[in-house]
Amino acid sequence: MSKITVNDEQQEVTLPLTLTGLIKVNKVLQPDMVSVQINGEYIPREKFDSTPINEGDEVDFLYFMGGGQS
């Protein structure tokens, strides 16, 4: 098992694993609406399938919400 951090929480995962696989493991709701940073770098959606997760990575799932004043 390898240790990574996801949204500031330690997680153990089995490598090899892609970003798409990590999204599935974490049961991300509406994966088409999430942006992802790995070690502070935004990952383009078209690279989710080919981006490997590595030991020690810091991953952030970012959800953008609409809203404002009425």
Q: Record the tokens describing residue 6, joined without a space.
A: 């996801």
Q: What is the CA radius of gyration of the chain?
A: 13
Per-residue pLDDT at 23? 98
According to DSSP, residue 14 is labeled P
- pLDDT tens track of the chain, all 70 residues? 999 999 999 999 999 999 999 999 999 988 999 999 999 999 999 999 999 999 999 999 998 777 766 6
* Domain 2-62 CATH class label: alpha beta
